[in-house]
Structure 1
Amino acid sequence: MEERKYALLIDAENTSSKYVDVIISELKKYGIITYQRMYGDFTNPDLASWNKKALKYAIVPIQQSRYSTAKNAADIMLVIDAMDILYKGTIDGFCIVTSDSDFTRLVSRLREEGKSVIGMGKSDASKTFIAVCDEYKFLDKIVDDESKGDKPVAEKDSITPIGEIKSAINNLLQECENNGEPANLGMVKSNLQRLYPDFDERNYGYNAMMKFITEATKFRIVKQGTTILVVRGGQEVPVNVEANVQQYIIRKAEQNVKLEILGQQLHEHFPEFKYKDYGYARLSRYVSSIEGVQIDSNNIVSSQK
């Protein structure tokens, strides 16, 4: 699969240069950084430290002098560049580094065009700005946690309360249990990030998701081969993966689902399942082999009448 491409745009006037190493390393987890730009009045001595970071990472400085005490030119230039990059159609997402809520509408506009937006900034950032991003990384929390290790920390106002996180996990596990589906660790984290763009286990003092689950939320971790499941105390752990897969396909067939979408859903819910392990070269042939399920010429999976 081709790596996703991101544009990194940094509001240098509202971000400390000490976070640049973390910004780059975090964004590289998501894909390739094709644009790297920082915005500010770099004639200002307060921004002098940004020059060394720009050289280290080949970040292009966009010099914008402050002409008045009103809305500064650097913010305006960042918005203009973001829209220019958007309409070139060469990237998959943006990383906007700022704690300034004035960029909220920009992020909304980028997402309206189907681009993912990762926000980064300090934990005192506007809740409105955090909520509008697909994900939001608290740079001060990440730096603090890397230096301290796995130590629980007190919650800050901008961070989603741990009680709310636990409730969301419990609801997800209940839903999976009702549907007879396993809840793997990756799926749990993905769902939390969709519900809470600011979610990152490091915000709560944990460098690993497994430790966060077992220590902060008190749910259980169960390993089945290479698969890591999250379960509630007393919840029965699914054993027969193929039986669960077939039951899942039968339920989805009742909803007339496209084969491509079904394949994506199977990968999300049953990452350890490989139809080739059961002697099938294609997913369509495996699905067609299940009693009561059919695929039409438009690749729609449905129940046989």
Structure 2
Amino acid sequence: MASDTTSAKLAVLIDADNAPPAIIEELLAEVAKYGTAHAKRAYGDWTGTSLRGWKEQLLAQSIQPIQQFAYTTGKNATDAAMVIDAMDLLHSGRFDGFCLVSSDSDFTRLAARIREAGLTVYGFGERKTPKPFVAACDKFSYIENLITSSAAAPTDTALSPASHTSASRLKSDTALVDLLRNAVEASSDDDGWVRLASVGHIITKQHPDFDARNYGYNKLSDLMAATALFDLDRRIPGDGKPAVIYARDKRHPT
């Protein structure tokens, strides 16, 4: 795995049968946060009409279409082709991580196998994605969270981004509050302060699909501020380095 995630070489493999083409631009922007897409492939039967909406995106985003005929009804040959290609790319030794785009649980074992080889797996799928596939990834992002106001309105209301969760509802969400507090406590110093990046890292290791956008907030800092349960401190380290945000549980004695 590359030490600098922004320079990580990534293979982006898209199950076109299980991913909407309307969000591909936002999806690739999200991928860019984790590294550079050195391979971009989309799998499906391009001779049919069901993937017609993808063709324009393939050209615009320089995604290589991989043709896979449906040999028989009821069997997904696309999944098999994607798995075979993924293993070939894995054994090439040219990549630091994989981005698997699908809402299909059939890729659970593939994600686990790639992680066994020491590479990072980023999953992308709809909220209906089965939990085993989500848990098999290092990080899983719901494509509903990638939809922005500048994007075309989704034709399926199920793909709408999460609405802003009120402070009162956040406070009453015991699971969320415990998750945030436990993550802060796990790596805080004697004064109770911890770098927010460390908090996010701890949470993601426990819940790959955790995302502040699930609650309608763009950043973890925004979500934690909205709960009113944490103190946040923006510190400037100097030497031209970017500011670092620290968090502390308000219950910690001052």
TM-score (norm 1): 0.70
> 2-side partners of 1:5 and 1:172: how far apart?
29
> 2-side partners of 1:195 and 1:24: how far apart?
25
Of structures 1 and 2, the one with the larger relative CO (CA 8 A, separation 6+) is 2
> 1-side partners of 2:251 and 2:106: how far apart?
47
1:144 Cα offset (Å): 5.7
2:99–2:122: 8 Å Cα contact kept in structure 1? yes
1:215 Cα offset (Å): 0.7
Name the residue aligned to 2:246. 229
Q: Is residue 187 of structure 1 aligned with residue 204 of structure 2?
A: no
Give runs of ≥4 in structure 1 deviating > 6 Å: 145-150
1:166–1:217: 8 Å Cα contact kept in structure 2? no
1:172 Cα offset (Å): 2.8
Q: Which amino acid aligns with 1:174?
A: E
> 2-side partners of 1:62 and 1:135: how far apart?
25
Q: How does 1:18-167 map to 2 (within 5 A)?
A: 18-143=22-147, 151-153=163-165, 162-167=173-178
Q: Which residue among 179, 183, 188 is the counterpart of 1:168?
A: 179
Higher share of residues assigned helix: 1
1:236 Cα offset (Å): 5.1
* Cα deviation 1:38-73 (Å, max 9, x = unaligned): 000112212011111000011000011112123222
Q: Is residue 214 of structure 1 aligned with residue 225 of structure 2?
A: yes
> 2-side partners of 1:208 and 1:175: how far apart?
20
1:230 Cα offset (Å): 0.8
* Cα deviation 1:209-241 (Å, max 9, x = unaligned): 22111114632212233331111114257xxxx
> 1-side partners of 2:150 and 2:248: how far apart?
28
Q: Secondary structure at the match of 1:114?
A: coil
2:121–2:138: 8 Å Cα contact kept in structure 1? yes
Name the residue aligned to 2:169. none
Q: Which amino acid aligns with 2:164?
A: P
> 2-side partners of 1:145 and 1:126: how far apart?
27
Number of residue pairs matched? 231
Q: Which amino acid aligns with 2:199?
A: V
1:145–1:207: 8 Å Cα contact kept in structure 2? no
Aligned Cα RMSD in Å?
2.4
* Cα deviation 1:146-203 (Å, max 9, x = unaligned): 779994259xxxxxx9532321221233344575563111111111111110011111
1:33 Cα offset (Å): 0.5
> 1-side partners of 2:228 and 2:50: how far apart?
42
> 1-side partners of 2:124 and 2:162: how far apart?
21
Identical columns (%): 34
> 2-side partners of 1:218 and 1:42: how far apart?
51
* Cα deviation 1:258-287 (Å, max 9, x = unaligned): xxxxxxxxxxxxxxxxxxxxxxxxxxxxxx
> 2-side partners of 1:145 and 1:104: how far apart?
32
> 1-side partners of 2:49 and 2:162: how far apart?
36
Give ranges in structure 1 of 5+ residues lacking alignment: 155-160, 238-305
